[in-house]
C-alpha cells in the first residue's frame, strides 16, 4: 500500500513513480554518481520543469489572440481604474 497525502487521499508523487527507461550520456551519469546526485530525482525535476515550460508555451499560443487584443485595448484606452491608483 502506497503513502497517501492526508489532504488529497491520492498517492504521493513517490508512490506514483513508475520505472522508466531513458538514455543518458554515459559520462554525465558517471559524474553524477561520483558527485552523489540522485539521478532519478534530478531527471524527474528536469522533466517537471520541461512540462511546466511546455504547458506555459501551449497556453500562450492558445491565448495569443486574446492577449494581443487586451494589450491593444490597454494601449488605446489605458489601464482600467488607473486614476484610482495610490502610486
Note the pLDDT tens digit of each residue in 44-82.
999 999 999 999 999 999 999 999 999 999 999 999 888
Residue 30 covered by a domain: no
Residue 25 covered by a domain: no
Which position has the grid cell 561520483? 34
**Whole-model pTM over 0.85:** no
Of the two residues 38 and 6, the one the predictor is more confident about is 38
Specify whether the CB–CB gap between 59 and 51 falls below 8 A: no
Give residue 11's pLDDT.
53
As a whole number, mean pLDDT of residues 31-45 equals: 97
Supply the DSSP symbol for 53: H
Specify whether the CB–CB gap between 53 and 60 falls below 8 A: no
Residue 48 covered by a domain: yes
Which position has the grid cell 486614476? 83
A 10 A CB-CB count for 56 gives 10
As a whole number, mean pLDDT of residues 16-23 equals: 90
Residue 3 covered by a domain: no
Q: What total of structural domains would you count in the chain?
A: 1
Task: Identify the weakest region by mean pLDDT among 8-17, 24-33, 35-44, 64-73.
Answer: 8-17
Residue 66 covered by a domain: yes
pLDDT per residue as tens digits for the range 1-16: 445 444 555 555 666 8
Residue 56 covered by a domain: yes
Of the two residues 9 and 23, the one the predictor is more confident about is 23
CA angle 12, 17, 22 (to 5 degrees): 155
Residue 71 covered by a domain: yes
Q: Which domain holds residue 67?
A: 39-78
Q: How many CA atoms lie within 13 A of 83 on its CB side?
A: 1
Residue 12 covered by a domain: no
Strand (E) positions, 1-87? Answer: none
Amino acid at each position: 500500500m502506497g503513502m497517501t497525502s492526508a489532504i488529497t487521499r491520492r498517492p504521493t508523487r513517490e508512490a506514483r513513480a513508475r520505472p522508466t527507461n531513458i538514455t543518458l550520456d554515459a559520462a554525465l551519469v558517471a559524474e553524477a554518481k561520483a558527485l552523489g546526485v540522485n539521478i532519478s530525482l534530478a531527471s524527474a525535476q528536469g522533466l517537471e520543469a520541461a512540462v511546466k515550460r511546455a504547458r506555459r508555451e501551449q497556453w500562450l499560443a492558445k491565448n495569443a489572440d486574446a492577449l494581443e487584443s487586451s494589450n491593444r485595448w490597454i494601449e488605446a484606452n489605458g489601464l482600467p481604474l488607473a486614476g484610482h491608483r495610490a502610486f
